[in-house]
Amino acid sequence: MRSSNLAPSGANHGAKTKGPAKVSALPGRTALDAELMVRIVTSADRSAFDDLTLHYAPRLKAWLLNRGEGDATSEDIVQDVLVSVWQKAASFDGSKASFSTWVYRMTRNRWIDHKRKHDRMHPVAPEDMATLADSAVESAHAGLEEAEAAEAVRDALATLPPEQKQMLHLAFFEGLSHSEIAARTGIAIGTVKSRIRAPLKKLRSTLEAHRKDEP
């Protein structure tokens, strides 16, 4: 992977394996990652950037491969994310989230954007709907928590009105665009968008409430 030289020259600093692929920080990584980010922000330290890249690039790539992306596409997404880490280092706030959470969310968002752009948004399980609604839990017990979160999402999906279930099915299971859904159903595109946003917001709230109840 072309990761060790991802920092663009003259960058302006103000600114297919199965199984669970984790990007959570290893014990002791949080403080180290924060220190490396400080070095990048204050002195454009390429060695600090390389340290982060060497640790996280293969983990982020594995996360993407685990979700069915090809090798080349996964590398491209990770490269794009890491360039953003370099360019937007000043926007990282370690008091709000660890670096691993920040970079994972960035990767997840780029992945979703890529799938939408190429009309390949086809989640096939509640766990994928959970990914769309919110990011994964960073925890030593992530596997159990993800399973419990998926169950909470399934319960929330079961309570949705039929019209919202239909919109989610067409958008995420059949991969139709908003305009295609409007054409198929005869529903105004604004209504289509609102019927997709509302249940996703509910799923997000469900996950947030689920996490607040965790010990």
Same structural domain, 127 and 206: yes
Same structural domain, 36 and 102: yes
Same structural domain, 10 and 28: yes
Boundary residue ending a domain (90, 120, 150): 120
Same structural domain, 3 and 88: yes
Residue 175: its pLDDT value, please? 67
Residue 144: its pLDDT value, please? 43
Residue 155, domain CATH: 1.10.10.10
Same structural domain, 29 and 114: yes
Same structural domain, 173 and 157: yes
Same structural domain, 111 and 192: no
> Long-range CB contacts (< 8 A, 24+ apart) of 117-126?
119/175, 119/177, 120/175, 121/171, 121/172, 121/175, 122/172, 122/173, 122/174, 122/175, 123/172, 123/173, 124/173, 125/150, 126/150, 126/151, 126/153, 126/154, 126/157
What domain range includes position 53? 1-120
Boundary residue ending a domain (80, 96, 120): 120
- Contact of 211 with 137, CB cutoff 8 Å: yes
Could you give the C-alpha distances from 209 to 21, 98, 173, in angstroms and in order?
A: 25, 21, 26
Residue 150: its pLDDT value, please? 59
Same structural domain, 68 and 36: yes
Per-residue model confidence as pLDDT tens for the chain (215 residues): 444 444 544 444 443 444 444 444 444 678 889 999 999 999 999 999 999 999 889 888 888 888 788 889 999 999 999 999 999 999 999 888 888 889 988 898 888 888 777 755 544 444 455 555 444 434 333 444 555 555 666 677 778 888 888 888 787 666 678 888 899 999 999 999 898 888 888 777 776 776 665 54
Q: Nearest CA to 204 among 135, 145, 138, 141?
A: 135
Structural domains in the chain (count): 2
- Diameter of the chain by CA atoms? 56
Same structural domain, 19 and 111: yes
Same structural domain, 89 and 128: no
Same structural domain, 134 and 114: no
